[in-house]
Amino acid sequence: MTKRLLEVADLTKGFVTRGADGRIAQLKALRGVSFTLDRGETLGIVGESGSGKSTLARSVVRLIEPDGGSIRFDGTDARRLSGRERSQFNRRVQMVFQDPYSSLNPRMTVRAALAEAIGVHRLRPPAAVDGRIAELLDLVQLPQEAAERYPRDFSGGQRQRIGIARALAVEPDCLIADEIVSALDLSIQAQIINLLLELQARLDLAILFISHDLRIVRHISHRVGVMYLGEIVETGGAEQVFADPRHPYTQALIAAAPTLDPGRRGRQEAVHGELPSPIDLPAGCSFASRCVHVMERCLTMPPALLSVDRTRAARCYLTENAAPPALREKSP
């Protein structure tokens, strides 16, 4: 068993939409996104709305068909799978959703939902299903009597636990967590983060953790990718990237994220301006319009993802003096 589980390369996806002038236009949600994910590893994807991070999540689990690029899962090309193999892929890569209210079928008890997931993939003989459900409830720290209840009987945090239990019911290797704590209150967020850390340690899960909240991504991830307008603009070890960000957007994002330090009240705003329209992208670097370090060539030619060191890369000319791109590492 190799350690490398998921290898995504050059993923692109466009949506047809209407521009401000009413003309039909192409919205480029993903513009060549590449990353790898190992077993037992958490890759955090951080970005604001319009960065394409949710499209990325849905493309990886094939809820959305990407336009181009490849998704290799455990050595096979996931985009070519069909029939039984596709169903197996779906089982092994599970998504947990943002909204704990709409992501559960309101007319099914917890037991029914879990039993269905176990049953469809024939993961346990019928006699052992109840035992497995008890196990799953333990795993996500819900009381056993929860099994007979309906989603409406639970609070947001508990529903999110049910969503996680349902994903785990099919014994996945990989979780795609799309903003799973964003809808929750602060004191509940910490509970779910802890649960995710614990589950990962116990089940050796690979986790793609997608969030707009830097503080949480920094805490939970081994490595991170920072997305801006459909591209990964910086990637590297979580601590490195957050302690010493190289891309001006990453720097702005970190400066803008509220800390608990009242001493920062007097500072200036972290970055001016707003996101350019994703249907009318600038010719050069997509961050150029807001960047304080902008140079002439930034406006005409988009920079490639340039290596900062062996594990880090940033899509910025400021990092140019470093080695050539080495983002896509060869799998062993």
Partner 1 sequence: MTVDTVDRRPNRLQPPLIFGTAILTLMLITALLPQFVAPYDPTRFDYHATLAPPSLAHLFGTDMYGRDILSRILWATRIDLQIAVFSTVGPVIVGTLIGTLVGYYGGFADIVLNRLVDVVVTFPFLVLVIGIIAILGPGLTNLYIAIGLVDWVFFARLARAEILVQRRLDYAHAARGLGYGPARIIFRHLLPNAIGPIITYWMTDMALAILLGSSLGYLGLGAQPPLAEWGALIADGKNFMATAWWITVFPGIAIVVAGFGFSLAGDGVADLLRRRE
Partner 2 sequence: MTENLLEVHGLRTEYRSDGRRFTAVDGIDFTVGPGEILGLVGESGSGKSATLRSILGLIKPPGRVEGRILWRGRDIHGLAPSALQRVRGAEIAMIFQDPMTALNPVLTVGQQIRESLAAHTDLSASDRQRRAIELLDLVGIPAAASRLDDYPYQFSGGIRQRAMIAIALAAKPALLLADEPTTALDVTIQDQIIKLIQRLAAELRMSVILVTHDLGVVAESCDRVAVMYAGRIVETAPVATLFRSPRHAYTLGLLQSMPVGRSPRTPLPFIPGAPPRPGDSLNGCAFAARCAFVGDECRHGRPETRHVGLDHMTLCRRAEALPAALEPA
Return residues touching partner 1 (CB under 8 A). 58, 61, 63, 86-88, 90-91, 94-95, 97-99, 102-108, 116-117, 120-121, 141-143, 145-146, 149, 152-155, 158, 163, 166, 170
Q: Which is nearer to partner 2, 69 or 156 (CB)?
A: 156
CA angle 35, 36, 38 (to 5 degrees): 155
Report the distance separating Cα 22 and Cα 3, nearest Å.
48
CB of 257 to partner 2, least distance (A): 5
Kindly indicate which of the ranges 94-102, 250-258, 310-318, 320-328 contains the residues binding partner 2, using the contact rule CB under 8 A. Answer: 250-258
**Alpha carbon 111 to chain centroid, angstroms:** 28
Query: Structure tokens of 193?
Result: 């983060």
* Partner from partner 2, partner 1, none binding residue 186, C-beta < 5-8 Å depending on class: partner 2
Q: Which is nearer to partner 2, 103 or 240 (CB)?
A: 240
How many residues comprise the chain? Answer: 332
CB of 179 to partner 2, least distance (A): 13
Query: Structure tokens of 124?
Result: 């346990």
Task: List C-alpha distances in Å: 88 to 84, 121, 177, 240.
Answer: 6, 8, 19, 36
CA angle 21, 66, 285 (to 5 degrees): 55
Q: Which is nearer to partner 2, 102 or 155 (CB)?
A: 155
Q: Are 93 and 36 in contact (CB under 8 A)?
A: no
* Partner from partner 2, partner 1, none binding residue 94, C-beta < 5-8 Å depending on class: partner 1
Q: Among 264, 293, 297, 310, which residue interacts with partner 2 (rule: CB under 8 A)?
A: 264
* Partner from partner 2, partner 1, none binding residue 260, C-beta < 5-8 Å depending on class: partner 2
* Partner from partner 2, partner 1, none binding residue 20, C-beta < 5-8 Å depending on class: partner 2
Q: Which is nearer to partner 2, 226 or 313 (CB)?
A: 226
What three-state secondary structure class fits 174? strand
Count of residues of this chain found to bind partner 2 when the rule CB under 8 A is applied: 49
Report the distance separating Cα 271 and Cα 248, nearest Å.
9
DSSP, residue by residue, 1-39: --SEEEEEEEEEEEEEEE-TTS-EEEEEEEEEEEEEEET
Residue 238 binding partner 2, by CB under 8 A: yes
Q: Among 9, 193, 281, 322, which residue interacts with partner 2 (rule: CB under 8 A)?
A: 193
Kindly indicate which of the ranges 11-19, 105-113, 161-169, 266-274 contains the residues binding partner 2, using the contact rule CB under 8 A. Answer: 266-274
Report the distance separating Cα 94 and Cα 79, nearest Å.
16
Residue 21 binding partner 2, by CB under 8 A: no
Reduced 3-state DSSP string for 207-229: EEEEECCHHHHHHHCCEEEEEEC
Report the distance separating Cα 79 and Cα 69, nearest Å.
9
Residue appearing with tokens 């960065």:
51
Q: Which is nearer to partner 1, 153 or 239 (CB)?
A: 153
**Ranges within 148-187 binding partner 2 (CB under 8 A):** 155, 157-158, 185-187
Query: Structure tokens of 90?
Result: 């779906």
CB of 103 to partner 1, least distance (A): 4
Q: Which is nearer to partner 2, 28 or 124 (CB)?
A: 28
Report the distance separating Cα 4 and Cα 255, nearest Å.
33
Residue 292 binding partner 2, by CB under 8 A: no
Contacts with partner 2, residue ranges (CB under 8 A) = 20, 42, 48-49, 155, 157-158, 185-191, 193-194, 197-198, 212, 214-216, 218-222, 238-239, 252-253, 255-265, 268-272, 274-275
